[in-house]
Structure 1
Amino acid sequence: MNLTISGHHLEVTPAIREYVQSKLERVRRHFDQVIDIAVILTVDNLTEKEKRQKAEINLRLSGKTVYVESLSHDLYAAIDTLIDKLDRQVMKYKSKVQDHNHQAIKHMPEEMPEEETPSAA
Protein backbone atom coordinates (compact mmCIF):
# COMPACT_ATOMS: atom_id res chain seq x y z
CA MET A 1 0.00 0.00 0.00
CA ASN A 2 1.34 3.41 -1.00
CA LEU A 3 0.73 6.44 1.19
CA THR A 4 1.32 9.95 -0.17
CA ILE A 5 0.87 13.00 2.04
CA SER A 6 1.28 16.39 0.37
CA GLY A 7 0.50 19.97 1.30
CA HIS A 8 -0.58 23.01 -0.70
CA HIS A 9 0.48 26.34 0.83
CA LEU A 10 1.53 24.25 3.82
CA GLU A 11 4.65 22.44 4.90
CA VAL A 12 3.90 18.88 6.02
CA THR A 13 5.76 18.50 9.30
CA PRO A 14 6.72 15.12 10.76
CA ALA A 15 4.12 15.66 13.51
CA ILE A 16 1.32 16.11 10.95
CA ARG A 17 2.58 13.12 8.95
CA GLU A 18 2.62 10.93 12.07
CA TYR A 19 -0.86 12.13 13.07
CA VAL A 20 -2.33 11.24 9.65
CA GLN A 21 -0.63 7.83 9.67
CA SER A 22 -1.93 7.02 13.15
CA LYS A 23 -5.46 8.00 12.14
CA LEU A 24 -5.31 5.91 8.96
CA GLU A 25 -4.57 2.81 11.05
CA ARG A 26 -8.26 2.76 11.97
CA VAL A 27 -9.24 2.48 8.31
CA ARG A 28 -6.63 -0.22 7.68
CA ARG A 29 -7.91 -2.15 10.70
CA HIS A 30 -11.43 -2.26 9.23
CA PHE A 31 -10.47 -2.95 5.62
CA ASP A 32 -7.05 -4.23 4.61
CA GLN A 33 -7.43 -4.35 0.81
CA VAL A 34 -6.27 -0.75 0.26
CA ILE A 35 -4.08 -0.19 -2.81
CA ASP A 36 -3.17 3.50 -2.61
CA ILE A 37 -3.85 6.48 -0.34
CA ALA A 38 -3.25 10.12 -1.36
CA VAL A 39 -3.77 12.77 1.32
CA ILE A 40 -3.74 16.47 0.38
CA LEU A 41 -3.66 19.10 3.12
CA THR A 42 -4.43 22.67 2.06
CA VAL A 43 -4.64 26.12 3.61
CA ASP A 44 -7.12 28.15 1.56
CA ASN A 45 -7.42 31.91 1.55
CA LEU A 46 -11.18 31.94 1.91
CA THR A 47 -13.35 34.77 3.11
CA GLU A 48 -14.66 32.53 5.86
CA LYS A 49 -11.89 32.67 8.43
CA GLU A 50 -13.16 29.68 10.39
CA LYS A 51 -12.99 27.22 7.47
CA ARG A 52 -9.54 27.76 6.03
CA GLN A 53 -7.99 24.34 6.63
CA LYS A 54 -8.91 21.66 4.11
CA ALA A 55 -8.04 17.97 4.10
CA GLU A 56 -8.74 15.67 1.15
CA ILE A 57 -8.12 11.99 0.61
CA ASN A 58 -8.27 9.65 -2.37
CA LEU A 59 -8.39 6.01 -1.33
CA ARG A 60 -8.03 3.44 -4.10
CA LEU A 61 -9.54 0.04 -3.43
CA SER A 62 -9.81 -2.86 -5.83
CA GLY A 63 -12.55 -1.72 -8.19
CA LYS A 64 -13.40 1.58 -6.47
CA THR A 65 -11.95 4.98 -5.60
CA VAL A 66 -13.23 6.75 -2.48
CA TYR A 67 -12.87 10.54 -2.31
CA VAL A 68 -13.53 12.49 0.89
CA GLU A 69 -12.85 16.10 1.85
CA SER A 70 -13.25 18.08 5.03
CA LEU A 71 -13.05 21.78 5.94
CA SER A 72 -12.39 23.17 9.40
CA HIS A 73 -10.75 26.03 11.30
CA ASP A 74 -8.04 23.67 12.62
CA LEU A 75 -6.02 21.24 10.50
CA TYR A 76 -6.16 18.49 13.12
CA ALA A 77 -9.95 18.85 13.40
CA ALA A 78 -10.21 18.66 9.60
CA ILE A 79 -8.15 15.45 9.62
CA ASP A 80 -10.36 13.97 12.37
CA THR A 81 -13.60 14.63 10.50
CA LEU A 82 -11.97 13.42 7.27
CA ILE A 83 -11.05 10.09 8.85
CA ASP A 84 -14.55 9.72 10.35
CA LYS A 85 -16.15 10.24 6.92
CA LEU A 86 -13.66 7.92 5.26
CA ASP A 87 -14.22 5.20 7.84
CA ARG A 88 -17.99 5.33 7.29
CA GLN A 89 -17.58 5.02 3.51
CA VAL A 90 -15.08 2.16 3.78
CA MET A 91 -17.36 0.26 6.17
CA LYS A 92 -20.28 0.80 3.77
CA TYR A 93 -18.21 -0.50 0.85
CA LYS A 94 -17.00 -3.48 2.89
CA SER A 95 -20.57 -4.45 3.81
CA LYS A 96 -21.62 -4.20 0.16
CA VAL A 97 -18.75 -6.45 -0.92
CA GLN A 98 -19.52 -9.00 1.78
CA ASP A 99 -23.29 -8.99 1.16
CA HIS A 100 -22.73 -9.48 -2.57
CA ASN A 101 -21.49 -13.01 -2.02
CA HIS A 102 -24.70 -14.24 -0.36
CA GLN A 103 -27.00 -16.51 -2.30
CA ALA A 104 -29.64 -14.70 -4.32
CA ILE A 105 -33.29 -15.12 -3.40
CA LYS A 106 -34.24 -16.34 -6.87
CA HIS A 107 -31.86 -19.30 -6.51
CA MET A 108 -33.17 -20.40 -3.11
CA PRO A 109 -35.45 -23.46 -3.06
CA GLU A 110 -39.12 -22.63 -2.87
CA GLU A 111 -41.11 -23.75 0.13
CA MET A 112 -43.99 -26.04 -0.66
CA PRO A 113 -47.29 -24.49 0.47
CA GLU A 114 -49.18 -26.59 2.97
CA GLU A 115 -52.23 -28.32 1.58
CA GLU A 116 -55.44 -26.78 2.71
CA THR A 117 -57.76 -29.14 4.47
CA PRO A 118 -61.38 -28.77 3.54
CA SER A 119 -63.38 -27.64 6.51
CA ALA A 120 -66.46 -29.60 7.44
CA ALA A 121 -69.45 -27.44 6.81
Structure 2
Amino acid sequence: MVEYQIRGLNFELTEAISDYVKKRLARLEKYLNADDQYDVRVKLSSHKTNHTFQAEVTVQIGDFVIRAEDTEDDLYEAIDAVTDKLDRQIKKYKTKITKSTRKQSIKQLDVPDLAEDGEVTEDVDELPIVRKKTVELKPMDPEEAVLQMELLGHDFFIFINAENDLPAVVYKRKDGQYALLDTDN
Protein backbone atom coordinates (compact mmCIF):
# COMPACT_ATOMS: atom_id res chain seq x y z
CA MET A 1 0.00 0.00 0.00
CA VAL A 2 1.34 3.42 -0.96
CA GLU A 3 0.79 6.41 1.29
CA TYR A 4 1.29 9.81 -0.36
CA GLN A 5 2.16 13.05 1.38
CA ILE A 6 1.99 15.85 -1.18
CA ARG A 7 2.55 19.50 -0.35
CA GLY A 8 2.91 22.65 -2.37
CA LEU A 9 5.01 25.68 -1.51
CA ASN A 10 4.36 29.19 -2.86
CA PHE A 11 1.33 28.09 -4.88
CA GLU A 12 -2.06 26.46 -4.36
CA LEU A 13 -1.92 22.68 -4.58
CA THR A 14 -5.07 21.66 -6.42
CA GLU A 15 -6.69 18.25 -6.49
CA ALA A 16 -5.84 18.00 -10.21
CA ILE A 17 -2.11 18.49 -9.48
CA SER A 18 -2.26 15.99 -6.61
CA ASP A 19 -4.02 13.45 -8.84
CA TYR A 20 -1.43 13.98 -11.58
CA VAL A 21 1.42 13.34 -9.13
CA LYS A 22 -0.24 10.13 -7.89
CA LYS A 23 -0.90 8.99 -11.46
CA ARG A 24 2.72 9.56 -12.53
CA LEU A 25 4.17 7.91 -9.41
CA ALA A 26 1.77 4.96 -9.70
CA ARG A 27 3.97 3.53 -12.45
CA LEU A 28 6.66 2.95 -9.80
CA GLU A 29 4.34 0.54 -7.99
CA LYS A 30 5.31 -2.23 -10.41
CA TYR A 31 8.61 -2.44 -8.51
CA LEU A 32 6.94 -2.68 -5.11
CA ASN A 33 5.46 -5.62 -3.25
CA ALA A 34 1.69 -5.13 -3.03
CA ASP A 35 1.56 -6.30 0.61
CA ASP A 36 4.13 -3.82 1.92
CA GLN A 37 3.63 -0.23 3.11
CA TYR A 38 5.45 2.51 1.18
CA ASP A 39 5.68 6.18 2.04
CA VAL A 40 6.01 8.73 -0.73
CA ARG A 41 6.73 12.35 0.23
CA VAL A 42 6.34 14.93 -2.52
CA LYS A 43 7.25 18.61 -2.24
CA LEU A 44 6.34 20.89 -5.12
CA SER A 45 7.72 24.44 -5.03
CA SER A 46 7.22 27.52 -7.12
CA HIS A 47 10.25 29.82 -7.39
CA LYS A 48 8.95 33.25 -8.28
CA THR A 49 12.37 34.84 -8.81
CA ASN A 50 13.31 32.65 -11.77
CA HIS A 51 9.77 31.47 -12.67
CA THR A 52 10.52 27.77 -12.24
CA PHE A 53 8.96 24.84 -10.43
CA GLN A 54 10.81 22.26 -8.39
CA ALA A 55 9.58 18.75 -7.65
CA GLU A 56 11.22 16.71 -4.89
CA VAL A 57 10.15 13.13 -4.21
CA THR A 58 11.36 10.85 -1.42
CA VAL A 59 10.26 7.21 -1.48
CA GLN A 60 10.76 4.84 1.44
CA ILE A 61 11.04 1.35 -0.08
CA GLY A 62 11.51 -1.19 2.66
CA ASP A 63 14.87 -0.42 4.22
CA PHE A 64 15.93 2.00 1.49
CA VAL A 65 15.19 5.65 0.82
CA ILE A 66 15.29 6.90 -2.75
CA ARG A 67 15.19 10.62 -3.48
CA ALA A 68 15.09 12.67 -6.66
CA GLU A 69 14.45 16.28 -7.56
CA ASP A 70 14.16 18.34 -10.71
CA THR A 71 13.50 21.95 -11.65
CA GLU A 72 11.67 22.95 -14.82
CA ASP A 73 9.80 25.94 -16.26
CA ASP A 74 6.52 24.01 -16.06
CA LEU A 75 5.19 22.21 -12.97
CA TYR A 76 4.00 19.17 -14.92
CA GLU A 77 7.37 18.88 -16.70
CA ALA A 78 9.12 18.93 -13.29
CA ILE A 79 6.81 16.16 -12.03
CA ASP A 80 7.47 14.10 -15.19
CA ALA A 81 11.23 14.60 -14.96
CA VAL A 82 11.47 13.65 -11.28
CA THR A 83 9.32 10.56 -11.90
CA ASP A 84 11.63 9.52 -14.75
CA LYS A 85 14.66 9.95 -12.47
CA LEU A 86 13.07 7.80 -9.77
CA ASP A 87 12.15 5.16 -12.34
CA ARG A 88 15.76 4.98 -13.55
CA GLN A 89 17.11 4.81 -10.00
CA ILE A 90 14.76 2.02 -9.00
CA LYS A 91 15.54 0.04 -12.17
CA LYS A 92 19.26 0.51 -11.64
CA TYR A 93 19.25 -0.60 -8.04
CA LYS A 94 16.37 -3.11 -8.12
CA THR A 95 18.63 -6.15 -8.28
CA LYS A 96 21.00 -4.78 -5.66
CA ILE A 97 18.10 -4.01 -3.32
CA THR A 98 16.55 -7.45 -3.71
CA LYS A 99 19.92 -9.14 -3.15
CA SER A 100 20.47 -7.18 0.05
CA THR A 101 20.29 -9.55 2.98
CA ARG A 102 20.07 -6.99 5.73
CA LYS A 103 16.61 -5.93 6.91
CA GLN A 104 17.58 -2.87 8.92
CA SER A 105 15.86 0.50 8.86
CA ILE A 106 17.86 3.21 7.10
CA LYS A 107 17.03 6.86 7.69
CA GLN A 108 17.54 9.58 5.11
CA LEU A 109 20.56 11.75 5.76
CA ASP A 110 20.14 15.10 4.05
CA VAL A 111 23.41 17.02 3.92
CA PRO A 112 24.18 20.42 2.41
CA ASP A 113 26.35 20.61 -0.69
CA LEU A 114 30.03 21.46 -0.22
CA ALA A 115 31.85 24.13 -2.17
CA GLU A 116 32.90 23.09 -5.69
CA ASP A 117 36.52 22.57 -4.72
CA GLY A 118 35.52 20.82 -1.47
CA GLU A 119 37.29 23.41 0.68
CA VAL A 120 35.74 25.91 3.02
CA THR A 121 37.44 29.28 2.69
CA GLU A 122 35.28 31.39 4.99
CA ASP A 123 35.99 32.11 8.64
CA VAL A 124 34.39 29.60 11.03
CA ASP A 125 32.40 32.42 12.68
CA GLU A 126 30.77 33.12 9.30
CA LEU A 127 29.50 29.56 8.78
CA PRO A 128 26.11 29.39 10.48
CA ILE A 129 24.43 26.01 10.64
CA VAL A 130 21.21 26.48 8.70
CA ARG A 131 19.85 22.97 9.01
CA LYS A 132 20.19 20.17 11.52
CA LYS A 133 19.22 16.55 11.00
CA THR A 134 19.37 13.76 13.52
CA VAL A 135 19.82 10.29 12.10
CA GLU A 136 19.68 6.87 13.63
CA LEU A 137 22.77 4.98 12.54
CA LYS A 138 22.15 1.38 11.56
CA PRO A 139 24.67 -1.43 11.16
CA MET A 140 25.45 -2.34 7.54
CA ASP A 141 28.43 -3.30 5.47
CA PRO A 142 30.25 -0.61 3.45
CA GLU A 143 28.80 -1.85 0.13
CA GLU A 144 25.26 -1.36 1.46
CA ALA A 145 26.23 2.12 2.65
CA VAL A 146 27.52 3.01 -0.85
CA LEU A 147 24.25 1.73 -2.33
CA GLN A 148 22.21 3.83 0.11
CA MET A 149 24.37 6.89 -0.59
CA GLU A 150 23.79 6.49 -4.35
CA LEU A 151 20.05 5.97 -3.87
CA LEU A 152 19.88 9.25 -1.95
CA GLY A 153 22.05 11.06 -4.49
CA HIS A 154 24.49 12.22 -1.81
CA ASP A 155 28.28 12.47 -1.83
CA PHE A 156 28.72 10.74 1.54
CA PHE A 157 26.84 8.53 3.98
CA ILE A 158 27.38 7.84 7.68
CA PHE A 159 26.57 4.43 9.17
CA ILE A 160 27.65 1.82 11.73
CA ASN A 161 30.12 -0.53 10.09
CA ALA A 162 28.78 -4.05 10.73
CA GLU A 163 32.31 -5.42 10.50
CA ASN A 164 33.50 -3.62 13.65
CA ASP A 165 30.33 -1.99 15.16
CA LEU A 166 31.90 1.49 14.93
CA PRO A 167 30.74 4.63 13.10
CA ALA A 168 32.04 4.98 9.55
CA VAL A 169 31.55 7.13 6.47
CA VAL A 170 31.61 6.22 2.80
CA TYR A 171 32.08 8.99 0.27
CA LYS A 172 32.50 9.53 -3.44
CA ARG A 173 35.92 10.79 -4.47
CA LYS A 174 36.51 13.36 -7.22
CA ASP A 175 37.72 10.56 -9.51
CA GLY A 176 34.35 8.78 -9.14
CA GLN A 177 35.68 6.01 -6.90
CA TYR A 178 34.37 5.31 -3.40
CA ALA A 179 36.26 5.61 -0.14
CA LEU A 180 35.64 4.42 3.41
CA LEU A 181 36.50 6.39 6.54
CA ASP A 182 36.54 4.01 9.47
CA THR A 183 36.92 4.90 13.15
CA ASP A 184 38.79 3.10 15.88
CA ASN A 185 38.64 3.21 19.65
**Aligned length, in residue pairs:** 98
Amino acid at match of 1:43: S
Tell me the CA shift for residue 65 of structure 1: 1.0
Deviations 1:65-110 (A, max 9, x none): 1111010000000000010000111112212123557xxxxxxxxx
Select the structure with the greater relative contact order (CA < 8 A; seq sep ≥ 6): 1
| Shift in alpha-carbon separation, 1:68–1:21, aligned structure 2, 3 A | same
What runs of 5+ residues in structure 2 fail to find an aligned partner? 102-185
**Alpha-carbon distance between aligned partners in 1 of 2:37 and 2:91, rounded to the nearest angstrom:** 13
Structure with bigger gyration radius: 1
Q: 1:111: which partner in 2?
A: none
Aligned-pair RMSD on alpha carbons? 1.7
Tell me the CA shift for residue 14 of structure 1: 1.0
Tell me the CA shift for residue 8 of structure 1: 0.5
Amino acid at match of 1:94: K
Runs of 4+ with >6 A deviation: none
3-state DSSP of counterpart to 1:26: helix
TM superposition score normalised by structure 2: 0.49
**Alpha-carbon distance between aligned partners in 2 of 1:78 and 1:20, rounded to the nearest angstrom:** 10
Q: Percent identity?
A: 33
Amino acid at match of 1:31: L
| Shift in alpha-carbon separation, 1:34–1:87, aligned structure 2, 3 A | farther
Flag the structure with higher helix content.
1
3-state DSSP of counterpart to 2:29: helix
Deviations 1:2-32 (A, max 9, x none): 2111000111111111111111111012333
